[in-house]
C-alpha cells in the first residue's frame, strides 16, 4: 500500500489543483527566499499533524483545510519520519475537512 500524504493550509482548493512553493510563509516558520516567499511545500503521512497545522491557521482568523495530496517531485525529510518538504508542487487528491 502506498503512503497517503496530507497537507493542512489556508487555500481553498479542488482535486487536481496544485499547492506550489513561492507563497507567503506560514506564521510558525518556513524556509523562504530573499523576497519572503516559501521555498518548499510541506506534507505529512500523519493526518493529525496536518489537522494541527490547519488549526494553527484558524487561530490567525483564516479559514483552513486539510487535503490528501500527491507529491509531483522528490520529497525531502523535514523533522520527523512522517513530515516532508518538496520544492515541487503537491497535487490535491481530495479535501479531507
pLDDT at 31: 66
Q: Which domains does the chain carry?
A: 5-95 (3.20.170.40)
Section 38-53 average pLDDT = 92
Split at pLDDT 50, 70, 90, the class of 10 is confident
Q: How many CB atoms lie within 10 A of CB 10?
A: 16
Residue 97 pLDDT more than 90? no
Task: Grade residue 68 by pLDDT with cuts at 50, 70 and 90.
Answer: very high
Average pLDDT over residues 42-53: 94
What proportion of the chain, given as a percentage, has pLDDT over 70?
A: 85
- CB of 4 closer than 8 Å to CB of 49: no
Q: Which of 21-25, 28-32, 92-96 has the lowest mean pLDDT?
A: 28-32
Q: Which residues contact residue 95 at a Cβ distance below 8 angstroms, ignoring those fewer than 6 apart?
A: 13, 14, 15, 65, 66, 67
Amino acid at each position: 500500500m502506498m503512503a497517503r500524504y496530507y497537507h493542512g493550509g489556508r487555500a481553498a482548493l479542488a482535486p487536481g489543483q496544485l499547492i506550489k512553493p513561492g507563497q507567503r510563509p506560514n506564521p510558525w516558520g518556513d524556509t523562504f527566499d530573499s523576497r519572503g516567499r516559501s521555498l518548499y511545500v510541506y506534507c505529512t503521512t500523519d493526518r493529525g499533524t496536518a489537522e494541527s497545522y490547519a488549526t494553527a491557521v484558524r487561530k490567525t482568523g483564516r479559514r483552513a483545510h486539510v487535503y490528501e495530496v500527491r507529491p509531483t517531485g522528490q520529497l525531502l525529510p523535514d523533522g520527523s519520519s512522517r513530515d516532508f518538504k518538496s520544492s515541487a508542487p503537491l497535487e490535491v487528491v481530495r479535501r479531507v475537512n
